[in-house]
Amino acid sequence: MAEIVWPQTVVDAMLKLPEKDFGLIIHKVEMVRRFPEMYPVRGRGRFRRCRWFLAGKWIIYYQVAEGKVFMRILWPARARSA
């Protein structure tokens, strides 16, 4: 199993999420721990070369290197409605 590395900024953002979103992200991260390369790699844009997965209203970007999974950022999956 891969080690998960969480930057403090991602941890701080997650702690502000609703419990449902938080739980879904943790569940999917546990899958990533077992199968780090299961999600697609982004080929273009701001987060190119990062893998990503959708968890509720959030896209989570991460990178895999040297047997570790580096969680990079939580990004809103869609723009807020006015």
Q: Summarize pLDDT for 21-62 with one digit per residue, the tens.
A: 999 999 999 999 999 999 999 999 999 999 999 998 999 999
Task: List the 58-65 sheet strands across, edge first.
Answer: 3-5, 68-76, 58-65, 51-55
Count of other CB atoms within 10 angstroms of residue 13: 13
Q: Is residue 82 one of the residues assigned to a domain? A: no
Q: How many structural domains comprise the chain?
A: 1
Q: Is residue 23 one of the residues assigned to a domain? A: yes
Q: Which of 82, 33, 29, 81 has the alpha carbon at shortest distance from 54?
A: 29
Task: Read off the CATH number of the domain in which 68 is found.
Answer: 3.30.2310.20
pLDDT score of 9 more than 80:
yes
How far is C-alpha 52 from the chain's CA centre? 6
pTM, 2 dp = 0.88
Q: Is residue 39 one of the residues assigned to a domain? A: yes
Query: What confidence category does residue 78 fall into, taking pLDDT thresholds of 50, 70 and 90?
Result: confident
Q: Is residue 81 one of the residues assigned to a domain? A: no
Q: Is residue 35 one of the residues assigned to a domain? A: yes
On the CB side of 60, CA atoms within 13 Å amount to 24
